[in-house]
Amino acid sequence: MEWRVTPGLTDYATALDEMERRAAAVAAGTDRELIWLLEHPPVYTAGTSADSAELIDPRFPVVRAGRGGRYTYHGPGQRIGYLVLNLANRGRDVRCFVHAVEGWVIAALAEMGIAAFRAPGRIGIWTYDHAGTEAKIGAIGVRVRRWTTMHGFSVNLSPDLSHFGGIVPCGIAEFPVTSAKALGAEYALETFDAALALTFGAFLESLTCARENEA
């Protein structure tokens, strides 16, 4: 498996092309699986369930992503994790995969002292802001083709939160978005990457739930 960290800002369309190419190669058995950590310049991405009414102010480029979900924002200060993994070897259970990704991000945030959690009925990673309100700190969006995963997660470390105002993030208007910085935690991308690496083994182990369910 390749663990790749790309410095600077990577154009979203360029990353999408690379991820599609790699996913096809992984599915064909001609390349390794990939964990790819990166940042994007400001962009709104539209999932397969995106509702045009939720695009309030297209101040940044809008790109059709091909993943599940609705509109989301990517930009500097947000850690993106693209996961190109072969689920054919891990139980072929998409729900288990999404649950495992959520758990991985929650565990990594816990290593940084941020208490995050799942919210019933709402995909993503949640925490409490300073007002005690549930707020979204991370988003999950995946696509699976030939049992090979694409896309993955985004976690708000220090993005400009006003940039989320151009959309209804993930179609959820009643809850705000937040970031590690807004919670008073100043963390570099490298710090979060280290937390992800530390908890990665447990993430892979959690994917065995699919195989156990098959037994």
122 phi/psi in degrees, rounded to 5: -130, 115
Contacts of 21 (CB under 8 A, 6+ apart): none
66: exposed, middle or buried (Cβ count in 10 Å: 0-12, 13-18, 19+): middle
172: exposed, middle or buried (Cβ count in 10 Å: 0-12, 13-18, 19+): middle
Tokens coding 108: 């990594």
Cα gap 104→126, rounded to integer Å = 13
Contacts of 187 (CB under 8 A, 6+ apart): 112, 157, 158, 180, 181
In the sheet that 148-156 helps form, which strands lie side by side, from edge to edge? 2-9, 34-39, 78-84, 148-156, 134-145, 122-128, 117-119
Tokens coding 159: 């993005």
Q: Would strands 122-128 and 134-145 be described as parallel, antiparallel, or unpaired?
A: antiparallel
Active site residues: 170
Cα gap 36→174, rounded to integer Å = 31
